Amino acid sequence: MIHLDKLCFGYDGKALLFNMLSLHLKPGENILLKGENGCGKSTLLKLMMGILSPQSGTVAIAGKPVTKVHAGLFQHVFYQSQSTADNLLGISQQQDWQMWRIAIPGLAALTDRADELFSERSGGEQKQDSQRILPYLMHKYWLLDEPFASLDTKAGEALFELVCKKTKAQPGMLVVAHELGDKESHFDRVLELSEGSIKELRHA
């Protein structure tokens, strides 16, 4: 599904964050990616999506080179940024959902919520708003960057139930998260990013 080959990347004026990094994510694999804050997990996902461009090396999704972010990637992959604001469309719940209805023909109207402005909702509530679309995108390969951050216990458990449902019904995802305890056993592979290298901690 996603193939990184000999990827080199560093931010301007800084040492390379990744040097000849290669990684292959197969369709149907459910992968957890861990690592300390600042190790480059979010950067790695942005490189996969073409939001950032490497100094050298290649990125491919579904066999096609990725040189920049474009709408065609949505055919295969659904990406959610670590920044909740990046994942919200418009300024309110209803406006966000209307935008999704344009993108996904046949998506039902949002009738179970009042139309609150995102600016009036907490960070955790905004996170949940951004994730309401996930059950309608189960067929895509998910790239989720810290999806459990800011969620309370109840919301986190609900999200993990959805993740587990996808691993069984329509598998295929890369989830960036910190320690998930015994929940890690639900993933096929657990990878750790450290000092620009990826180490496999567990393989089913």
Helices (H) and strands (E) in the chain, counts: 5, 10
Residue 71 banded pLDDT, cuts 50, 70, 90: confident
Q: What is the mean pLDDT of the chain?
A: 93
We find that the CATH architecture of domain 2-87+123-203 is: 3-Layer(aba) Sandwich (3.40)
Q: What SS3 class is residue 179?
A: coil
Among 27-31, 37-41, 113-117, the minimum mean pLDDT is found in 113-117
**203 pLDDT above the threshold of 80:** no
Sign of CA pseudo-dihedral 10, 46, 204, 190: positive
Cβ atoms within 10 Å of 188's Cβ, excluding its own:
16
> pLDDT digit string (tens) for 79-124?
999 999 999 999 999 999 999 999 898 999 988 767 899 999 999 9
Domain boundaries, the chain: 2-87+123-203
**44 pLDDT above the threshold of 90:** yes
| pLDDT over 70 percentage in the chain | 99
Q: Which helix (H) or strand (E) holds 19?
A: strand 18-25
Q: What SS3 class is residue 79?
A: strand
**165 pLDDT above the threshold of 90:** yes
Average pLDDT over residues 174-197: 92
Give every strand in the sheet of 64-65, ordered side by side: 18-25, 2-9, 56-61, 64-65
Residue 202 banded pLDDT, cuts 50, 70, 90: confident
Give start and end residues of each alpha helix (H) in the chain: 41-49, 84-87, 93-103, 123-131, 153-169
Look at residue 112 in the predicted model and tell me its pLDDT: 73
Across the strands, what pairs with 131? none
Residue 134 banded pLDDT, cuts 50, 70, 90: very high
**Given its phi and psi angles, is residue 131 left (phi above 0), alpha (psi -120 to 50 degrees) or beta?**
alpha
For 122, 163, 200, the CA distances from 133, given in Å and listed in that order, are 19, 13, 30
Non-local CB neighbours of 150 within 8 Å, separated by 6+ positions:
84, 123, 124, 127
